[in-house]
Structure 1
Amino acid sequence: MNNVSPRSIYIHIPFCSHKCHYCDFTAYVVGGQPVDEYLDALEREMAWTVAEIPPEEIETIFIGGGTPTVLDVKQMERLLTAIRRYFPFWSDEIEYTIEANPGTTEKEKLEVMLAGGINRISFGAQTFRPDLLANIGRVHSVSDIGRSVETARAVGIHNISLDLMFGLPKQTVADMEEAIREGVALAPEHFSVYSLKVEEGTVFHAKLLQGKLPLPSEEDELMMYQLTRERLQAAGYSQYEISNFARPGKESKHNSTYWKNNPYYGLGAGAHGYARGVRHVNVKGVGEYIRRCEKGRPIAETLDVTRMEAMENEMILGLRLEEGVHEGRFRERFDVALAVVFGDVLATLEKKDLLQKEMGRWSLTEKGLLFGNDVFSAFLGEGVDHVVGR
């Protein structure tokens, strides 16, 4: 696997119209930013990258941010043209996704996106209650959500994903139920539903330290998650990953690249990548990114992934999926039986009713789904290293 070129690409556009109160991503308010110079640098990074790691057939592309759709029409066209120039070999079944905030996808821009190959949009709806949108720093309206989905479909982009959040300040279980109902009414092909995590350096973290962040109770947050699972599955969406639900055949191929521990190109300021056994993260600052791309790849840090670390990642990421971890795939990848490496951990978690085994496949139980972090952390440093080597 280490010698295989990635078949997936992540491209980061670090600009947005307004930074949300929970956001700790590499993102900067677009006003006054050198956007065109950034796109110049991004093209240079593409050139440096493909010279070092030549691409083969590309199966998924994901443009994230920030808010990539803050690019104007000409900038969007330029970006998509550059991607095709440096990564020309596309699978006939490519999944090509862009993140978008509702209200930032006017018809002309959507037409350029479609012509450039994009066939999937992930809209950050987050909630359908206007005051909650304002409280978390979102600048779109509730009506923008439906209008944006409708316009995308009218242009010809029919694979739509909606992001929803729960555990927001002042959010109730009834609010979450309403958000699911409103979301389902738009009939997207996919939902990503995440709980709020208060990260350091965000507006919400500062409010939390001040005692001014009225979060729901743990019990209510759990009820929101269980309600989400029940309502979406009743509406025909299968839960194929801890936080993701899809209609049959509409699971996110790109995100599955991460969960299946497969390599991917990572391009743009603050982007992460994984290729040929090495993980890397790019420099975050826009100015520094532009300067670094003049002389080479703008990498801030690299990490050689050891065999044991790769096996730990295989378990931690793979168990997020409903299909879990297959013993045969593990042996094929690492030339050792799963039970040899993690037998004691698996037995302990199975005894606690957190993991289950069926037909050579290990997956989370219902209880394990609710205590996923406990399951994942159990694999860290617990492999039989004297058998397989670090």
Structure 2
Amino acid sequence: MTDQVTRGAYIHIPFCDHICYYCDFNKVFMKNQPVDGYLDALAKEMAYYAAMGPVKTIYIGGGTPTALNEEQFERMLSDVSHYFGHDALQEFTVEANPENLSGGKLELMKRYGVNRLSVGVQSFDNELLRTIGRAHNAENARDTIQRAQAAGFENITLDLMFALPGQTEEMLHQSLETALSLNTPHISIYSLQIEPRTIFYNRMKGGKLRLPGEDIEADMYGQIIFTLEKHGLRQYEISNFSRSGYQGIHNSLYWHNEEYYGIGAGAHGYVNGKRYANAGPVKKYISLVGKHGFSEASAHAVTVQERIEEEMFLGLRLMRGVSQSRFLQKFGRHIKEVYGNQINRLKSEGLLEECGDYIKLSTKGIFLGNNVFEAFLLS
């Protein structure tokens, strides 16, 4: 069955015990929210999409999935397992925060087949953790990872951030060294992006946010690549590093431009050539699911041109790059028929390389990825 199954399922839990200063995901304070009503609606929407066919990956994100209490957490995992679980499932990931990942929740995840944890650490520097509004400290984070490993979770990814307010290269180095000492097989590390509707955005507009400059950010990124690869974590995507065999399967669906169900308030999905976004407000989401079985608030049929563009700027995030033969198979046109001028120009600028069947970012191109991606927008 898995040879034929290409879709994944992303399931969104919007509830948080606190709001981080940089976060622009769909989230709400958990207190006084209709959590049980939300879980009812979530199960109903799962049933709607499960009827369209099985999945090879499940990813439960947020918000903070582990903000649910143990009874709610088990109910959610039971429903997910009921609608999407099967023996050949390749990957079942749950996002977790150090401050609310209890032993009971670890046991529940083991019982319901979760085989990958994504732990939101962001930094092992306590001062930086306070600066960005996280609720845990470095000791909590280390303890959580070690408890998860003791509970039998081998496939753990640490989520880290860099270019944070007040962060120095030495502070980044210390966080990387601590992360590596925990010996997880995967690390994701993203530079801070200031998004509208966040506390940091308001501080930046008021001139109250001190960020590293672009040159320091580039130096930090170079340090990350060098340090992680030196310790056996190979960069397979712009922001992701892993030991062999531990590359994230679910996120690779996005980079390979494959389809996935988006389930939950504010979730985005891509099904049958259509990208859609669910209603964000929790009560509106519950109401729509109650009426229709799903909560689609907007949708867009992806044109062939858009699919071609996405194939390039998503696929080039991968260090392996974009397969020319796969492009021809998907679109019936050779990649150089569509993008010959752009590819030649970017190669001459040292930003792209051709390696057998693949067109990929050069070392220089990795640092200037957004400039490269923009070249593949046809309109």
> TM-score normalised to the size of structure 1?
0.94
SS at match of 1:199: coil
* 8 Å Cα contact 1:281-1:301 kept in structure 2: yes
Deviation at 1:7, TM superposition (A): 2.4
Query: 1:121-180 CA deviation, whole Å, 9 max, x = no partner?
Result: 111111111111011000001101111111111111111100111111111011100110
Aligned to 1:231: 227
* 8 Å Cα contact 1:59-1:90 kept in structure 2: no
Is 2:259 the counterpart of 1:263? yes
Task: Call closer, same or farther: CA 1:118–1:191 in 2, change over 3 Å.
Answer: same
Amino acid aligned to 1:174: E
Aligned to 1:162: 158
Is 2:286 the counterpart of 1:290? yes
- 2-side partners of 1:254 and 1:151: how far apart? 24
Count, aligned residues: 375
Amino acid aligned to 2:53: P
- 2-side partners of 1:129 and 1:157: how far apart? 24
SS at match of 2:57: strand
Amino acid aligned to 1:167: A
Aligned to 1:23: 23
Aligned to 1:387: none
- 2-side partners of 1:309 and 1:339: how far apart? 17
Is 2:10 the counterpart of 1:10? yes
- 2-side partners of 1:128 and 1:82: how far apart? 34
Deviation at 1:290, TM superposition (A): 0.6
Amino acid aligned to 2:145: V
Deviation at 1:48, TM superposition (A): 2.4
> Which blocks of at least 5 consecutive residues in structure 1 are unaligned?
383-390
- 2-side partners of 1:219 and 1:335: how far apart? 42
* 8 Å Cα contact 1:98-1:122 kept in structure 2: yes
> Which blocks of at least 5 consecutive residues in structure 2 are unaligned?
none
- 2-side partners of 1:247 and 1:326: how far apart? 23
Is 2:61 the counterpart of 1:64? yes
Is 2:91 the counterpart of 1:104? no
Query: 1:14-43 CA deviation, whole Å, 9 max, x = no partner?
Result: 011111000000011111111111000101
* 8 Å Cα contact 1:190-1:237 kept in structure 2: yes
Amino acid aligned to 2:366: L
- Point out the more displaced range, 281-290 or 152-161: 152-161
- Point out the more displaced range, 71-80 or 363-372: 71-80
* 8 Å Cα contact 1:11-1:64 kept in structure 2: yes
Output aligned runs, 1:146-157, within 5 Å. 146-157=142-153
Is 2:336 the counterpart of 1:339? yes
Is 2:358 the counterpart of 1:361? yes
- 2-side partners of 1:88 and 1:112: how far apart? 15
Identity across matched positions, percent: 44
Aligned to 1:44: 44
Aligned to 1:253: 249
* 8 Å Cα contact 2:5-2:56 kept in structure 1: no
Deviation at 1:365, TM superposition (A): 0.4
Q: Which runs of 4+ in 1 moved over 4 A?
A: none
SS at match of 2:98: coil
> TM-score normalised to the size of structure 2?
0.97
Task: Call closer, same or farther: CA 1:312–1:304 in 2, change over 3 Å.
Answer: same
- 2-side partners of 1:112 and 1:88: how far apart? 15
- 2-side partners of 1:41 and 1:310: how far apart? 31
* 8 Å Cα contact 1:55-1:89 kept in structure 2: no
Query: 1:292-342 CA deviation, whole Å, 9 max, x = no partner?
Result: 110111011101001111011000000000110011111111111111111
Aligned to 1:116: 112
* 8 Å Cα contact 1:6-1:265 kept in structure 2: no
SS at match of 1:103: helix
Deviation at 1:103, TM superposition (A): 2.2
- 1-side partners of 2:260 and 2:5: how far apart? 8
